[in-house]
Amino acid sequence: MKEIFPEELANKLKTDNNISIIDVREHEEVAHGKIPGAKHIPLGELPDRLNEIDRNRNHIMVCRSGNRSGNASQFLEAHGYDVTNMVGGMLEWKDEIEK
């Protein structure tokens, strides 16, 4: 599984606003803020919402600590998607959060 650290993603976002980020946290968690531009698809809804995810792009998967996004990454990889897990999740995210 490919991985990226929060600081690396924050730096990439400063120069590339076309990065696909998928936040798999629950609705109440995302209500406290998310990475700007991230698409919210809770982990439990992922199997039913695959049609919303472009197979031709790389997607950065995000959750609270990196565990659920790791599970999401494995699931999507098994279905032919190109994904990268953000290690440490939002607990390690230090950049500005969108509310």
Catalytic residues: 63
**Residue labelled with tokens 């609270």:** 64
- For residue 75, what are the CA distances in angstroms to 37, 70, 78, 85? 22, 9, 5, 12
φ, ψ for residue 61 (rounded to 5)?
-95, 135
Question: Which strands, in side-by-side order, build the sheet including 39-40?
Answer: 2-4, 82-86, 58-62, 20-23, 39-40
